[in-house]
Amino acid sequence: MPNEARLGSGRWMRLLPFLFLAPGLALVLLLFLYPLLRLVAQSVLDPTPGFDNYVAVVTDPTLWQIIETTLIISAQCTIVTLLLAYPVSYLLSRLPRARANLLMMFVLLPFWTSLLVRMYAWMVLLGRHGIINEALLGMGLSATPYPLLYNRFAVVVGMSHFLLPFMILSLYSTMIGIDHSLIEAASSMGSSFRQTFMRIYLPLSLPGIYAGSLLVFILGMGFYITPALLGSPQETTISVYIQQQIEELNWGEGTAMAVILVGIVVALFAVYDRLLGFDRLFRSVGAQ
């Protein structure tokens, strides 16, 4: 009785959730979904109706090159972060919880630091007269400065630095759930380190590898700031290209490329959902 009096009943009750969802839905529909659909429309209507823009993208070798560059940079970052993260996540998952949390601070602090600060830091470190080159020259390890900045190397290093925490957290959340008595059982029965790792630990950690790699690859596809600041024109990614086209008011090809990028990303997220479920992604955001 007090329950009903409190909450009201009937039609009002059924409208209440929509009332609560309305502001969020209005924002997302008006400022996100509607603009996105307009963008798709523009890609087939500007300047003339038809699929000319897509034909142009597919037949132009320089545009293929841009798509390829983006995919390769993303793949390189995925491999680098996986190699860096795997042993670290393993170590963190094996430490007592309090100590792991303490070390996790190193992983989480970059999340809170402005991307621009990090970009500037990489310029200071990798520049022609940057810290690394000065150190190498000073130690007599090289006679001339190495070209470390404004190339592929700098872009992959800068992006991997940004993406590494995502990989570490994805792997860690899987590894923390692995029952370690399985590994002990295997080695007590005479299995070598290599065998135990290949046959038991690696397969058990695969969900983390899939989750981390897909997430890093997807995020890597959308990078704009890092390639724009640390790369050369050869590191023109899809995002950089889109921005350039819009700046030059070349809406047709710019929007076509945007639709292609969204297509790739959505397809990869569908794979993520199939393999691991979206809930995992939401949880990893919430857990931070």
Partner 1 sequence: MIAGRTGRRLPHTLLWAYAIAVFAFLIVPLVVVIPVSFSAGMYLQFPPPGFSLHWYRDYFGDPQWIDATVLSVEIALCVVVLAVTVGSLAALAIVRMPFPGIGLIRILLMTPLIVPSVVVAVAVYSVYVSFHLIGSFLGIVLAHTILALPFTIVLMVAGFQRIDRRLEEASYTMGASVAWTFRHITLPILRPSLFASAIFAFIASWDEIIMVIFIGGGAGTTLPLRMFNYLRTEINPTIAAVSTLLLIVAIAVFAGTEGFRLRGAARRSVKGSDA
Of 33 and 202, which CB lies nearer to partner 1 in the complex structure? Answer: 33
* Apex 238 CA angle, 110 and 162, nearest 5: 10
Of 52-60, 172-180, 206-214, 240-248, the segment contacting partner 1 by CB under 8 A is: 240-248
Number of residues lying near partner 1 (CB under 8 A) = 84
Binding-site member from 176, 222, 232, 280 for partner 1 (CB under 8 A): 222
What Å distances lie between residue 223 and 61, 94, 155, 190, 273, CA to CA? 22, 33, 10, 47, 22
Q: Which 3 state secondary structure label does DSSP give 60?
A: coil
Binding-site member from 55, 58, 72, 131 for partner 1 (CB under 8 A): 131
224 counts as binding partner 1 under rule CB under 8 A: yes
CB 245 within 8 A of CB 253: yes
CB 212 within 8 A of CB 172: no
Distance CA 237, CA 75 (A): 13
Nearest approach in angstroms of CB 58 to partner 1 is 19
Q: Residue 275, Cβ neighbours under 10 Å: how many?
A: 13
Nearest approach in angstroms of CB 60 to partner 1 is 20
Nearest approach in angstroms of CB 31 to partner 1 is 5
What Å distances lie between residue 281 and 22, 143, 166, 273, CA to CA? 24, 48, 11, 9
DSSP state of 129: T
Phi, psi of 146 (to 5 degrees): -80, 145
**Residues in the chain, overall count:** 288
Could you say which residues in the range 159-218 bind partner 1, by CB under 8 A?
161, 164-165, 193, 218
Of 122 and 174, which CB lies nearer to partner 1 in the complex structure? Answer: 122
Of 127-135, 139-147, 172-180, 198-206, the segment contacting partner 1 by CB under 8 A is: 127-135
Binding-site member from 16, 198, 202, 206 for partner 1 (CB under 8 A): 16
Q: Which amino acid, one-letter code, is at 287?
A: A
139 counts as binding partner 1 under rule CB under 8 A: no
Could you say which residues in the range 40-79 bind partner 1, by CB under 8 A?
42
* For helices 202-221 and 278-287, angle between their N-to-C axes, nearest 10 degrees: 80
243 counts as binding partner 1 under rule CB under 8 A: yes
Of 58-66, 176-184, 206-214, 258-266, the segment contacting partner 1 by CB under 8 A is: 258-266
Binding-site member from 57, 73, 107, 169 for partner 1 (CB under 8 A): 107
Q: Which amino acid, one-letter code, is at 283?
A: R
Q: Which residue has the tokens 């430490």?
A: 95
Of 60-68, 86-94, 176-184, 201-209, the segment contacting partner 1 by CB under 8 A is: 86-94
Binding-site member from 62, 112, 140, 274 for partner 1 (CB under 8 A): 112
Nearest approach in angstroms of CB 114 to partner 1 is 5
